């Protein structure tokens, strides 16, 4: 499947080639091939069990694919561990909130900044006094609208604020590309609207691969959409094309319609 | 201002004052046992503090930490046996050996997580223990007597109990301070983060294995120092010092005193050892009027409350004694 | 010489099967209830003590064995209900600490009830015989009985876990407690039963070993660590792995202890060999574990992602 835009000169920031993964008898990823050019917000949609989480796992480096290659910024990252990928500029957020509950919001983000600020074999200075870490962390919090909640323990934040913090953490590593795993999961309408605003602002400066169920968000934000069903990419293109694609309607949007009316 | 007068601060300050005054009290009352007991407490507090670094802050449950007490002790003992009495050789060797062993053991154990990690540290503890048992030349099972304390020619005389005690106390304070700085440094935050959520740490770009390994080595080295001190204190070292149940004792101290707090391990060491001495006497005194001679036997069995007490602390007072003291005060 | 070797092989097999009983109980409890039970060795010890006591009371070894098994089962279930229920869902550190507290408790309790000296259990005459397994090789009947019983239990476990509904629940419970609960099955009862089964296995190992070794406080801990080594080598969560690893560990440990002293005597002085040999034999199995860990950190038969 040709996923290059017509007349596109920019080399893709993220290239996925023939990614395959089997768990026992289940094929979670079926020769997935996809390219995401720099600056694009690419959404991946698909029914539950389609293999979206596996895909993120493979891209982040937590799951080793059985076959295929992943290239980021021209370099092959297929064999690299998670932390190296982050260091190269590929950051992710988690679908199920994964933060440091005993630390404050600022501490959380400052840790992410710390990862990018040289090595951490520093044993003496109080890291919480390092402006070089705290200032960028505060800025990242501001970017997602959590500036006033900086000194609150994560365990005391609301679910929506957790999701915002997830993004802030990923941002603090100064990434070139974000892998967002269902950032809107479990959010109410007000929080969702805020998140959409945040994502729209992020679009200006980052490449984003977004996995989401919320169709309104997806069609509002995405430059291109790919549809994943049973591990296979069955369609990929501009939102309008996807909406019109019959196979997609049958496999996925049809279910969505039923779920909405049923 | 009133923050300074919190329960926890008062208790810690009182404890520290008491510790400083122990030799004075001891000579005043003519009670030598007091100083002997508290020397032992202070030394084990150093060991417990080192364990706190990896257990309390790092979440690594090592059932093999007492190994470093033994290794430090054997370094001193073996060198003394072979005629090398200078502390300036013995103690650095002790630290070096412990650092090396911690590096090797840590490199293997830290590849695993959770249950596996615990089991593997247990197994390695047994390995070193049996190695000690096989040290025929150095006493094997019976242990090695150390006839001369480590020599600090011109500086200190370790056979002077008060001097030795103050040295230990000084080293304890240094350990607590160093640990405190460590856990709040960049390094310490990585360790704490790795305990809290390792997956996330890796996702933001930290190769957590390396940091854990360094923490493991630091902890083992400090414990080796405690081992050298202990060997000087008891003038004896044996494989029993390294048995995994001794590691269990250290864990009890850390948890009981308060994991993840600077003074928790010291509080734990004091509590445990003082209880060991005082509780049987107390029980005997209290129950004697009621059950007469039986009181002696009942007092002997005080240890039975230790197990359930420990379980209760784990279930309901996770922060240990320090946690109870600090309740209400945001740390 | 060959006969001696074969005899040691049989001893190794017997010891290995005993380790398997312990390891199986541990793995079951950990696999199904996600509970790390350090006090598993205490149940082993309790089984041995019960057996020695009941044998003294009833005069019959078999009756003592049955009673001891039942008693350990009851103790196990009581421990689960009283002490372990609050620990579920907590992180493994809490399990380790809590069950470590149980070890302390059981060791003291045993000391109070039975005293610090330890007990012994003598075999009845009809078991204290030897049969010719091979021309020229007489092997103790009792040890053959142990092998037979352990193999039977292994078979029983296999059928239970692989072929029955309960086994299915056990295997499913490992992956999804909530789902099992949602299916209307009483997860609490299931946990108690599984833990009881684990306790019974430990108690069985303890009471079978009682006539061979002295029954004393702390006997559980030493063998528990070996059971851990078995699980590490075999792969956590895998009963099949535990079986193979247990036999391996049993054989290596026994044959090592039997022949290492002689091997060492070729290299070292006699006195040196007699001290170093037992220590080295004890170390042997841990050295092997280290090698396995370096080569295959997940064990020889790892169970796929839990």
Chain C residue with Cα closest to B61? C93
Q: Pairing state of beta strands A41-45 and A67-72? A: unpaired
Between A246 and B161, the higher pLDDT residue: B161
Q: Output the six-digit token pair for A129.
A: 């006094």
A147 falls within a domain? no
State the smallest CA–CA distance between residue B208 and chain A in angstroms: 9
Name which of C202, C248, C238 is nearest C37 in CA terms.
C202
State the smallest CA–CA distance between residue B214 and chain A in angstroms: 9
**pLDDT digits over B244-286, tens only?**
889 999 999 999 999 989 999 999 999 999 988 887 888 778 8
* C90 three-class SS: coil
Q: Tell me, what's the pLDDT at B31?
A: 87
Q: How far apart are CA C260 and CA C262, in angstroms?
A: 5
Q: How far apart are CA A150 and CA A143, in angstroms?
A: 12
Q: Tell me, what's the pLDDT at C77?
A: 93
What CATH number does the domain containing A59 carry? 3.40.50.300
Which residues in chain B have their CB less than 8 angstroms from residue A123's CB? 181-182, 185-188
A40 falls within a domain? yes
Of B184, B187, B193, the CB nearest to A111: B193
Which regions of chain C are under pLDDT 70? 169-185, 237, 269, 271-273, 302-306
Which of B184, B195, B204 to mutate: most A Cβ within 10 Å? B204
Report yes or no: B315 at the C interface, CB cutoff 8 Å: yes
State the smallest CA–CA distance between residue B103 and chain A in angstroms: 16
Report yes or no: B124 at the C interface, CB cutoff 8 Å: yes
What is the mean pLDDT of the segment spanning B168-190? 96
Residue B296 pLDDT > 80: no
Check: CB of residue A3 under 8 Å from CB of residue A33. Answer: yes
**In Å, how far are A7, A177, A234 from A239, measured between CA atoms?**
19, 21, 14
Report yes or no: B328 at the A interface, CB cutoff 8 Å: no
Instruction: Residue C54: give the domain boundaries.
Output: 2-119+139-295
Name which of B18, B271, B31 is nearest B169 in CA terms.
B18
State the smallest CA–CA distance between residue B203 and chain A in angstroms: 6
State the smallest CA–CA distance between residue C150 and chain B in angstroms: 24
Instruction: Residue A33: give the domain boundaries.
Output: 1-89+210-262
Which residues in chain B have their CB less than 8 angstroms from residue C286's CB? 123-124, 126-127, 130
Name which of A203, A215, A257 is nearest A239 in CA terms.
A215
Of C94, C97, C104, the CB nearest to B306: C104
Which residues in chain A have their CB less than 8 angstroms from residue B213's CB? none
Q: Tell me, what's the pLDDT at C179?
A: 64
Which of B107, B296, B305, B311 to mutate: most C Cβ within 10 Å? B311
A52 falls within a domain? yes
Which residues in chain B have their CB less than 8 angstroms from residue C100's CB? 248, 251-252, 310
Of A92, A101, A172, the CB nearest to B196: A101
C190 falls within a domain? yes
Q: How far apart are CA C84 and CA C170, in angstroms?
A: 18
Q: Tell me, what's the pLDDT at A10?
A: 55
What CATH number does the domain containing C258 carry? 1.10.3470
Q: Do B181 and A82 touch (CB under 8 A)?
A: no
Q: Tell me, what's the pLDDT at B268?
A: 94
Q: Do B205 and A116 touch (CB under 8 A)?
A: yes
**pLDDT digits over B6-57, tens only?**
888 899 999 999 999 999 998 888 888 999 999 999 999 999 999 999 999 9
Q: How far apart are CA B177 and CA B227, in angstroms?
A: 19
Name which of A208, A217, A210, A219 is nearest A241 in CA terms.
A219
Evaluated on CA atoms A185, A186, A189, A193, the torsion sign reads negative
Q: Output the six-digit token pair for B303.
A: 């240890």
Report yes or no: C225 at the B interface, CB cutoff 8 Å: yes
C76 falls within a domain? yes
Of C97, C101, C289, the CB nearest to B308: C101
Q: Do A98 and B197 touch (CB under 8 A)?
A: yes
Look at chain C and report how many structural domains it folds into: 1
Write down the pTM of the prediction: 0.88
Which regions of chain A are under pLDDT 50? 1-9, 262
Q: Tell me, what's the pLDDT at C180?
A: 64
Q: Do A83 and B193 touch (CB under 8 A)?
A: no
C128 falls within a domain? no
Which residues in chain B have their CB less than 8 angstroms from residue A114's CB? 186, 189-190
Of A102, A112, A127, the CB nearest to B186: A127
Q: How far apart are CA C93 and CA B211, in angstroms?
A: 20
Report yes or no: B59 at the C interface, CB cutoff 8 Å: yes
Q: Tell me, what's the pLDDT at A4?
A: 46
Which residues in chain B have their CB less than 8 angstroms from residue C293's CB? 108, 111-112, 120
Which residues in chain A have their CB less than 8 angstroms from residue B202's CB? 81-83, 86
A155 falls within a domain? no
Chain B residue with Cα closest to A61? B203
**pLDDT digits over A186-231, tens only?**
888 888 888 898 889 888 889 999 998 888 889 889 999 999 888 8
Q: Tell me, what's the pLDDT at C90?
A: 80
Q: How far apart are CA C141 and CA C126, in angstroms?
A: 9
Q: Do B202 and A102 touch (CB under 8 A)?
A: no
Check: CB of residue C223 under 8 Å from CB of residue C208. Answer: no
Report yes or no: B196 at the A interface, CB cutoff 8 Å: yes
- Domains of chain B, by residue range, sit at 2-325
**In Å, how far are B29, B38, C24, C172, C238 from C156, measured between CA atoms?**
68, 56, 12, 19, 16
State the smallest CA–CA distance between residue C194 and chain B in angstroms: 19
* Residue B320 banded pLDDT, cuts 50, 70, 90: confident
C133 falls within a domain? no
Of A94, A100, A115, the CB nearest to B206: A115
Look at chain A and report how many structural domains it folds into: 1
What is the mean pLDDT of the segment spanning B99-106? 95
- List b or e across A219-231, with b for residues whose CB sees 16 or more CB atoms inside 10 angstroms: eebbbbbbbbbeb
If contacts are CB pairs under 8 Å, which of residues 231-270 in chain B contact chain C? Answer: 244-245, 248, 251-252, 255
Report yes or no: B174 at the A interface, CB cutoff 8 Å: no
Q: Do C293 and B111 touch (CB under 8 A)?
A: yes
């Amino acid at each position: 499947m040709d996923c290059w835009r017509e007349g596109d000169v920019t080399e893709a920031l993220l290239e996925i080639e023939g990614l395959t993964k089997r768990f026992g008898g289940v094929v979670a990823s079926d020769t997935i091939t996809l390219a995401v050019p720099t600056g694009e917000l690419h959404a991946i949609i698909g029914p539950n069990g389609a293999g979206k989480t596996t895909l993120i796992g493979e891209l982040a480096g937590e799951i080793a694919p059985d076959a295929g290659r992943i290239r980021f910024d021209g370099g092959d990252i297929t064999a690299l561990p998670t932390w190296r990928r982050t260091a190269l500029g590929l950051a992710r957020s988690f679908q199920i909130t994964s933060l440091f509950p005993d630390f404050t919001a600022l501490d959380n983000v400052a840790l992410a900044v710390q990862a990018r600020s040289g090595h951490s074999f520093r044993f003496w200075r109080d890291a919480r006094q390092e402006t070089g870490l705290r200032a960028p962390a505060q800025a990242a919090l501001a970017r997602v609208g959590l500036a006033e909640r900086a000194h609150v323990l994560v365990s005391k934040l609301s679910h929506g604020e957790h999701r915002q913090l997830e993004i802030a953490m990923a941002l603090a590593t100064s990434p070139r590309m974000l892998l967002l795993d269902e950032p809107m999961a479990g959010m109410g309408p007000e929080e969702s609207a805020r998140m959409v605003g945040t994502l729209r602002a992020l679009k200006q400066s980052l490449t984003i691969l977004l996995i989401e169920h919320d169709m309104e968000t997806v069609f509002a934000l995405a430059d291109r959409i790919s549809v994943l069903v049973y591990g296979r990419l069955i369609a990929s293109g501009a939102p309008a094309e996807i909406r019109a694609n019959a196979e997609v309607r049958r496999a996925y949007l049809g279910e969505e319609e039923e779920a909405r009316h049923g | 201002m009133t923050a300074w007068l919190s329960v926890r601060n008062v208790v810690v300050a009182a404890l520290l004052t008491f510790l400083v005054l122990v030799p004075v009290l001891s000579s005043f009352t003519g009670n030598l046992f007091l100083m002997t007991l508290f020397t032992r407490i202070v030394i084990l507090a150093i060991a417990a503090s080192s364990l706190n670094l990896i257990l309390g802050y790092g979440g690594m449950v090592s059932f093999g930490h007492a190994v470093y007490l033994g290794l430090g002790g054997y370094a001193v003992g073996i060198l003394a046996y072979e005629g090398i009495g200078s502390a300036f050789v013995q103690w650095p060797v002790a630290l070096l050996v412990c650092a090396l062993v911690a590096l090797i053991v840590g490199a293997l154990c830290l590849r695993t997580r959770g249950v596996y990690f615990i089991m593997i540290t247990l197994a390695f503890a047994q390995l070193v223990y049996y190695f000690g048992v096989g040290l025929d030349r150095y006493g094997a099972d019976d242990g090695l007597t150390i006839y001369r304390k480590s020599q600090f020619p011109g500086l200190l005389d370790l056979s002077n109990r008060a001097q030795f005690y103050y040295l230990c106390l000084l080293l304890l304070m240094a350990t607590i301070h160093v640990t405190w700085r460590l856990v709040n440094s960049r390094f310490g935050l990585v360790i704490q983060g790795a305990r809290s959520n390792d997956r996330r740490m890796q996702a933001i770009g930290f190769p957590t294995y390396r940091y854990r390994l360094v923490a493991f080595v630091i902890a083992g080295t400090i414990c080796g120092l405690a081992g050298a001190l202990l060997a000087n204190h008891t003038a004896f070292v044996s494989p029993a010092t390294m048995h995994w149940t001794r590691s269990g004792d250290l864990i009890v101290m850390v948890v009981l005193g308060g994991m993840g707090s600077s003074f928790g391990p010291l509080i734990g060491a004091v509590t445990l050892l003082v209880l060991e001495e005082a509780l049987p006497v107390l029980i005997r005194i209290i129950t004697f009027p009621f059950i007469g001679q039986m009181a002696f036997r009942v007092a002997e069995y005080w240890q039975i409350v230790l197990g359930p007490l420990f379980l209760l602390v784990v279930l309901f007072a996770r922060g240990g004694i320090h946690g109870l003291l600090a309740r209400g005060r945001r740390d | 010489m060959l006969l001696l070797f074969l005899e040691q092989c049989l001893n190794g097999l017997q010891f290995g099967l005993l380790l398997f009983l312990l390891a199986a109980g541990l793995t079951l409890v950990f696999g199904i209830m996600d509970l790390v039970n350090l006090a598993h060795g205490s149940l082993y010890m309790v089984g041995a003590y019960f057996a020695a006591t009941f044998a003294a009371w009833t005069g019959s070894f078999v009756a003592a064995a049955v009673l001891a098994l039942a008693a350990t089962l009851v103790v196990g279930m009581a421990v689960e209900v009283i002490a372990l229920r609050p620990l579920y869902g907590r992180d493994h550190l809490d399990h380790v600490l809590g069950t470590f507290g149980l070890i302390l408790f059981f060791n003291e309790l045993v000391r109070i009830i039975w005293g610090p000296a330890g007990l012994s259990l003598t075999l009845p005459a009809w078991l204290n015989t030897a049969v010719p397994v091979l021309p020229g090789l007489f092997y103790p009947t009792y040890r053959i009985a142990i092998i037979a019983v352990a193999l039977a239990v292994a078979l029983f476990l296999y059928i239970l876990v692989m072929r029955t509904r309960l086994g299915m629940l056990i295997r499913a419970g490992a992956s999804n407690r909530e789902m099992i609960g949602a299916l209307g099955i009483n997860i609490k009862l299931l946990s108690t039963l599984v833990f009881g089964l684990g306790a019974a296995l430990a108690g069985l190992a303890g009471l079978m070993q009682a006539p061979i070794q002295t029954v004393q406080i702390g006997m559980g801990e030493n063998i528990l660590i070996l059971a851990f080594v078995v699980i590490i080598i075999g792969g956590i969560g895998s009963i099949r792995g535990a079986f193979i690893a247990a036999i391996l560990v049993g054989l290596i440990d026994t044959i090592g202890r039997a022949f290492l002293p002689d091997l060492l005597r070729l290299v070292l002085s006699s006195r040196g060999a007699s001290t170093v040999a037992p220590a080295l034999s004890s170390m042997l199995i841990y050295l092997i574990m280290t090698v396995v860990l370096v080569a295959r950190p997940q064990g020889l038969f790892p169970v796929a992602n839990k």
